Amino acid sequence: MSHHDGEMDRHGSGPEESQYGPGLRALRRQRCLLWGVILLYVPQMWITAQLTHSNRAVGVAFGIWFIFLVKAGLPVAFAPCPRCGNYFHLKNFNTLYVRRCRHCGLHINADRKP
Ligand SMILES: [Zn+2]
Assigned domain for 100 exists: no
How far away, in angstroms, is 93 Cα from ligand 1 center?
Answer: 16
Assigned domain for 51 exists: yes
Assigned domain for 106 exists: no
**Domain limits for position 89:** 14-95
DSSP of 9-70: TTTTTSHHHHTTHHHHHHHHHHHHHHHHHHHHHHHHHHHHHHHH--HHHHHHHHHHHHHHHH
How far away, in angstroms, is 73 Cα from ligand 1 center?
Answer: 19
Q: Comparing C-alpha atoms, which of 41, 18, 5, 30 is closest to residue 107?
A: 18
Assigned domain for 52 exists: yes
Q: Whole-angstrom Cα distance, residue 10 to residue 85?
A: 22
Assigned domain for 109 exists: no
* Count of structural domains within the chain: 1
Q: Tell me, what's the pLDDT at 2?
A: 41
Per-residue pLDDT of the chain (114 residues; tens, 9 = 90+): 444 444 444 454 566 778 999 999 999 999 999 999 999 999 999 999 999 999 999 999 999 999 999 999 999 999 999 999 999 998 877 777 789 999 999 999 999 866
Q: Tell me, what's the pLDDT at 8?
A: 47
How far away, in angstroms, is 16 Cα from ligand 1 center?
Answer: 13
Assigned domain for 110 exists: no
Q: Tell me, what's the pLDDT at 6?
A: 40
C-alpha neighbours within 13 Å on the C-beta side of residue 4: 1
Q: Tell me, what's the pLDDT at 3?
A: 42
How far away, in angstroms, is 35 Cα from ligand 1 center?
Answer: 22
